[in-house]
Amino acid sequence: MSTATLESPALDYAALKQRQHAVWSSGDYAILGTTLQIMGENLCEAADVRAGSQVLDVAAGNGNATLAAARRFAHVTSTDYVDALLERGRERAAAERLQVAFRHADAEALPFADAHFDVALSTVGVMFTPNQAQAAAELLRVVRPGGRIGLACWTPDGFIGQVLKAVGRHLPAPPAGLNSPLRWGTEAGLRELFPGQRIQATPREFMFRYESAQHWVDVFRAFYGPVHRAFAALAPDEQKGLEGEMLELLARFNRAGADSLVVPGAYLEVVITRAA
């Protein structure tokens, strides 16, 4: 089934995927990933995940949407291409005695039959695939006609969008023709990726709650792959520059004053209904 126009073949997607795998394998995303659990819960409600449904979590990370769907008595298959993150999801499911199938899988080449799932989910995961059109096509392929794709995607102008842009200013420019992952956080980008589908996009905010701005920087520098790898690639004076930019962003977005940190992270909560 062809559902999206594949992007420029001139890009070396295999090399890009290898580099991205190294990024997401670094640090320990599960440490901060668990703080995003409410995004998975809200997404399951938005996508109307029902008991008995066949649900796929794509680029599941440590399993936020996976666990949320399993708590609703769906039959869940959780996938990621970073085995360490799948293991964190297994540990969480076991602790809650939830029945979940875990499988290593590439979001751009899902190892499942056409129209196999009632719902496919991804919370700030599939948006980071290098070949975005291929990933979108795979999501549509594995969901039955009338089924739903639920996505949570950071927006370009929101806090994490600005963090990713700050990181990008300190690293070599990406290859020409490679789309930003923040494309998934815009309605225009989603309509390009999912032409002819019914798309409902709702702006939402996730609140980052940390002890201080410095606490946030320390946690993300240690555990969040894109930030962790960016700092590791920079000389000490450049590291100080990037840290300063992040502290300025945090100060601008912080709603809590000097005593704590409460920063809204804007994202799009998306439900796509696959056309018959």
| Inside any domain, residue 245 | no
pTM of the model: 0.93
Residue 197 has pLDDT above 80, yes or no: yes
Neighbouring residues of 78: CB distance < 8 A, sequence distance ≥ 6: 57, 60, 63, 66, 86, 89, 93, 100, 101, 102, 103
Does residue 221 form part of some domain? no
Range of the domain at 171: 13-206+265-273
- Residue 101 resides in a domain: yes
CATH number of the structural domain spanning residue 149:
3.40.50.150
Measured CA to CA, the distance from residue 133 to residue 58 in angstroms comes to 15
Specify if 77 maps to a domain: yes
Question: Which pLDDT belongs to residue 171?
Answer: 87
238 domain-assigned: no
pLDDT of 206 higher than 80: yes
Residue 258 lies in a domain: no
For residue 84, being part of any structural domain is answered with yes
Q: What is the pLDDT of residues 107-163, one digit of tens each?
A: 999 999 999 999 999 999 999 999 999 999 999 999 999 999 999 999 999 999 999
Beta strands 75-80 and 54-57 are: parallel
- Residue 182 structure tokens: 């923040």
Q: How many domains does the chain have?
A: 1
The pLDDT tens digits for 221-263 are 999 999 999 999 999 999 999 999 999 999 999 999 988 999 9
DSSP SS3 for 81? coil
In a domain, 1, yes or no: no
CA dist 265 to 3, 137, 217, 232, Å? Answer: 31, 27, 15, 25
Residue 19 pLDDT? 87
